[in-house]
Amino acid sequence: MPKQPAANSVLHSVFAAIVCFAAYASITAFRKAFNVASFEGARLFGLEYKTVLVITQVIGYMLSKFYGIAFISGLKRYGRAKLIFLLVGISWIAWLLFAVIPAPYNFWTLALNGFPLGMLWGIVFSYVEGRRATDFIAAALAVSFIFGPGLAKSVALWVMSDWGVSEYWMPFMTALVFLLPLVLFVWLLEKIPPPDANDVAHRTARVPMTAADRKAFLKTFLPGVVLLVIIYIFVTVLREVRDAFMADMWRSSGEVFQPSVFAQTEMIISISILILIASMVAVRNNQKAFLMAQGIMLAGFILSGMMTLLYQQGSVSTFWWMTSMGLGLYMTYIPYNSILFDRMLASFKYAANVGFLIYVADAFGYLASISVLLTKTVLKLQVDWLHFYSSLVLFTSVTGTVAICCSLVYFHRKHKKHFTVSH
């Protein structure tokens, strides 16, 4: 079979990267914009109202991830655009209900918002997995996790200040700003060509998985999957708390900040992560790339811990701590959503799909996030989010480092044994 022209392949990859980044950044605005508000003056169940909202949305998102283990892993490759519009539409209606139902009786709408949005990463990623250029494309998609929330928060503050929109109408109106771009980029997602024969040869076929397929996979790789899920639990907790209470931590620091600061910090992190992850496309050996991805994650934990210690000693400003600590966090988080599982399947030449693995990790990651939020809030721990979070970063840096080292040893031995037996 003739090879696809290199120039044409590069153009397709760049096109896919831009479209995936823009589509998911637009989707993020339907979930993350509300975090910039404080929602002061309301309480529910004896708790701060914003904390109730964050927990409720994460519960919806978590339930979506558990449901998605089967749904996304068995996803067919047709009708995906309609499914995206349906799910986003439900999440937007939830924000309308949030605006028109008086607080605090509108809190449940956050679960309605979170559940459909939890499906969307798996659907978008299904357009691009299993390609020679997946590292590059997925890096662009994954940095939208970083840039999207920052942009959404900046737009949300602008909507409230320039349009005079209340905190309760702000999420709906911010989503409206991103609606037309989303329609455009989802339409363009459908124009991305499927993987060619060379992609399949290099990265292994990606196929829908049945319940039996999922069970067989876990039986084969259970210790390694457990380690990777534990690591992901740590970084998901850090990411969720950072995203939800980043503005509150800025306020606690006492340093003055502008609405644009969220976009600024996340832009620096996004560019750094994009360069780092996209460069992995040059690593042709899948096993080496799989281990290198875990090396990047290890470096991320070390960076986060070191910068947090310096911040606690007053050696760096809040801006540079939030930026560098965020970079370390996403050095660990982003590989899961871009190269780690894709290279794992290719390394072991296992016919499956990335959606199954990431939704297993996501489900338990968000379950842990809820547990941390409830522990801090229900037990009424008397620490503000800034001090609570910095302590959480230090604990996670140490435990995450140990878990990654164990994972590296396991998968190195597993790969060696796997191919010794098969040959």
Give the CATH number for residue 311. Answer: 1.20.1250.20
> What would the pLDDT profile of 206-241 be if each residue is shown by its tens digit?
888 899 999 999 999 999 999 999 999 999 888 888
User: What is the residue whose two structure tokens read 């044409």?
Assistant: 8
* Domain-located, residue 85: yes
* Domain-located, residue 201: no
Whole-number percent of the chain with pLDDT over 70? 95
Q: Is 379 helix (H, G, I), strand (E, B) or coil?
A: coil
Rounded mean pLDDT, 246-270: 81
* Domain-located, residue 1: no
Per-residue pLDDT at 415 exceeds 80: yes
Given this model, what pLDDT does residue 36 score?
86
Q: What is the mean pLDDT of the chain?
A: 88
Highest mean pLDDT among 140-149, 198-207, 244-253, 282-291: 282-291
> To the nearest 10°, the Cα dihedral for 265, 266, 268, 272?
140
Separation of CA 50 from chain center: 21
Query: Which of the four pLDDT bands, split at 50, 70 and 90, describes residue 282?
Result: confident
Q: Which residues contact 197 (CB under 8 A, 6 or more apart)?
A: 1
pTM of the entire structure?
0.81
* Domain-located, residue 202: no
**For 355-394, what is the HEC assignment?**
HHHHHHHHHHHHHHHHHHHHHHHHCCCCCCHHHHHHHHHH
Low-confidence winner among 83-92, 262-271, 359-368 (lowest mean pLDDT)? 262-271
- Indicate the number of domains in the chain: 1
Q: Provide the domain limits for residue 416.
A: 6-192+208-422
Closest to 130 (Cα-Cα) out of 297, 351, 358, 356: 351
Q: Which ranges of 163-210 does DSSP label H, i.e. alpha helix?
A: 170-189, 197-203
Low-confidence winner among 1-5, 7-11, 75-79, 263-267 (lowest mean pLDDT)? 1-5
Q: Looking at the chain, how many residues does it have?
A: 423
Query: Which of the four pLDDT bands, split at 50, 70 and 90, describes residue 7?
Result: low
**Alpha carbon separation from 328 to 52, 183, 276, 382 (Å, rounded):** 28, 33, 12, 27
Low-confidence winner among 159-168, 194-203, 208-217, 331-340 (lowest mean pLDDT)? 194-203
Low-confidence winner among 115-129, 133-147, 251-265 (lowest mean pLDDT)? 251-265
> What would the pLDDT profile of 83-117 be if each residue is shown by its tens digit?
999 999 999 999 999 999 998 899 999 999 999 99
Per-residue pLDDT at 160 exceeds 80: yes
Rounded mean pLDDT, 180-206: 88
Given this model, what pLDDT does residue 416 score?
87
Low-confidence winner among 220-229, 274-283, 355-364, 405-414 (lowest mean pLDDT)? 274-283
* Domain-located, residue 199: no
* Domain-located, residue 200: no
Long-range Cβ pairs for the range 220-224 (8 Å, 24+): 220/350, 221/348, 221/414, 223/410, 224/407, 224/410, 224/411, 224/414
Rounded mean pLDDT, 374-400: 82
> Does residue 195 have a cis bond before it (omega within 30 degrees)?
no
Rounded mean pLDDT, 378-383: 64
| Gap between the Cα atoms of 423 and 418, Å rounded | 9
* Domain-located, residue 197: no
> Does residue 194 have a cis bond before it (omega within 30 degrees)?
no
Q: Which ranges of 193-253 does DSSP label H, i.e. alpha helix?
A: 197-203, 211-253
Per the CB < 8 A criterion, the answer to whether 14 and 128 are in contact is: no
Q: Which residues pair with 370 in a beta bridge?
A: none
Given this model, what pLDDT does residue 4 score?
47
Instruction: Write out the two tokens for 410.
Output: 């396991």
Per-residue pLDDT at 53 exceeds 80: yes
Query: Which of the four pLDDT bands, split at 50, 70 and 90, describes residue 253?
Result: confident
* Domain-located, residue 203: no
Rounded mean pLDDT, 405-422: 85
Given this model, what pLDDT does residue 5 score?
47
